[in-house]
């Protein structure tokens, strides 16, 4: 019965190590996705420490490749030292992912305040030229999120760009139909929703991707630690099994 338990645990453990390799790729992808998205929205979010969860997740992903290799070798050879190392590293990674979840929730709560603080400044610095980083950022999010202005398109009336252009219009990126010139005399041609709420929602969704990814793989790692501990405990408590593994015979 004990032998059956060990064999089952080893089988699950080998399978989990294969999952760890897949997980490593997924974690690195999620971390890279956060970095790329942040680059598109960085003008609306000044706290670079928000990227800490993404940095940790990429580091964990890289470490999981090593964990999978150690786990497979230790499981197949049933190395006590290897399995112990495997469990210890998994425990450290598990604690790191718990930290990612906590940081994710902390920074997710800060997103709205950060965007509220910076978005007005970004809109004030808009000048409509492609050489201006703020202009590119605003045009991008207005097209991408299908929004216009901070709360609605009328917010453009309070910007320097609107006052200087004096043409009673908003940027073309506010247009939702072809042939639109951005004129405020045809508000039906413009996106009606403001960008502030949508930017906050987008950034919070990204942080939730990080949180749920970390939680999912933390649960898988707990199963991996459990299976490794079962193999280790069986070996230490069953001298007959130790003799069998070492190539001896049972009298």
pLDDT tens readout for residues 114-140: 888 888 888 988 988 878 888 888 999
Q: What is the mean pLDDT of residues 68-76?
A: 73
pTM of the model: 0.73
End-to-end CA, the chain? 19
In this structure, what CATH number is given to the domain that contains residue 124? 1.10.1450.10
Domain assignment present for 120 = yes
The pLDDT score that the predictor gives to residue 194 is 93
Which residues, including other chains, have CB under 8 Å from residue 196's CB and lie 6 or more apart? Answer: 115, 116, 119, 150, 151
Q: What is the mean pLDDT of residues 166-170?
A: 88
Query: Domain count of the chain?
Result: 1
Q: How far apart are the C-alpha atoms of 135 and 139, rounded to whole Å? A: 6
Domain assignment present for 50 = no
The pLDDT score that the predictor gives to residue 7 is 56
Domain assignment present for 228 = no
| C-alpha angle 171-174-175 in degrees, rounded to nearest 5 | 105
Domain boundaries, position 130: 107-212
More confident residue, 17 or 101: 101
- Residue 74, classified by CB atoms within 10 Å of its CB into exposed (0-12), middle (13-18) or buried (19+), is buried
| Nearest Cα to Cα of residue 149 among 120, 183, 128 | 120
Domain assignment present for 139 = yes
Has residue 12 got a pLDDT over 80? Answer: no
The pLDDT score that the predictor gives to residue 147 is 93
Domain assignment present for 184 = yes
The pLDDT score that the predictor gives to residue 170 is 93
Domain assignment present for 155 = yes
User: 3-class DSSP state for residue 144?
Assistant: helix
Alpha carbons within 13 angstroms on the beta-carbon side of residue 156 total: 36
Domain assignment present for 150 = yes
Domain assignment present for 195 = yes
Computed over every residue of the chain, the mean pLDDT equals 79
- Write the pLDDT tens digit of every residue in 75-108: 666 667 777 777 888 888 888 888 888 888 888 8
The pLDDT score that the predictor gives to residue 2 is 45
Report the range of poorest mean pLDDT among 4-13, 165-174, 211-220: 4-13
The pLDDT score that the predictor gives to residue 149 is 92
Has residue 244 got a pLDDT over 70? Answer: no
Q: What is the mean pLDDT of residues 195-207?
A: 87
The pLDDT score that the predictor gives to residue 250 is 43
């Amino acid at each position: 019965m004990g032998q059956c338990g060990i064999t089952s645990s080893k089988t699950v453990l080998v399978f989990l190590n294969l999952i760890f390799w897949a997980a490593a790729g997924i974690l690195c992808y999620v971390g890279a996705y956060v970095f790329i998205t942040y680059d598109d929205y960085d003008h609306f979010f000044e706290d670079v420490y928000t990227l800490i969860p993404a940095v940790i997740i990429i580091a964990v992903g890289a470490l999981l490749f090593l964990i999978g290799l150690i786990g497979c070798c230790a499981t197949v050879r049933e190395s006590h030292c290897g399995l112990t190392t495997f469990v210890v590293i998994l425990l450290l990674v598990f604690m790191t992912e718990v930290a990612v979840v906590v940081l994710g929730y902390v920074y997710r709560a800060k997103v709205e305040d950060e965007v509220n603080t910076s978005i007005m400044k970004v809109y004030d610095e808009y000048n409509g030229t492609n050489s201006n980083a703020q202009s590119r950022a605003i045009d991008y999010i207005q097209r991408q999120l299908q929004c216009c202005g901070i709360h609605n398109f009328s917010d453009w009336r309070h910007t320097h760009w609107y006052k200087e252009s004096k043409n009673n219009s908003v940027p073309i990126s506010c247009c939702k139909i072809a042939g639109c010139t951005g004129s405020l005399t045809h508000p039906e041609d413009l996106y009606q929703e403001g960008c502030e709420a949508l930017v906050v929602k987008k950034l919070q969704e990204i942080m939730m991707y990080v949180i749920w990814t970390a939680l999912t793989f933390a649960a898988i790692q707990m199963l991996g630690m459990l299976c490794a501990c079962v193999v280790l405990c069986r070996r230490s408590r069953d001298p007959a099994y130790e003799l069998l593994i070492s190539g001896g015979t049972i009298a």
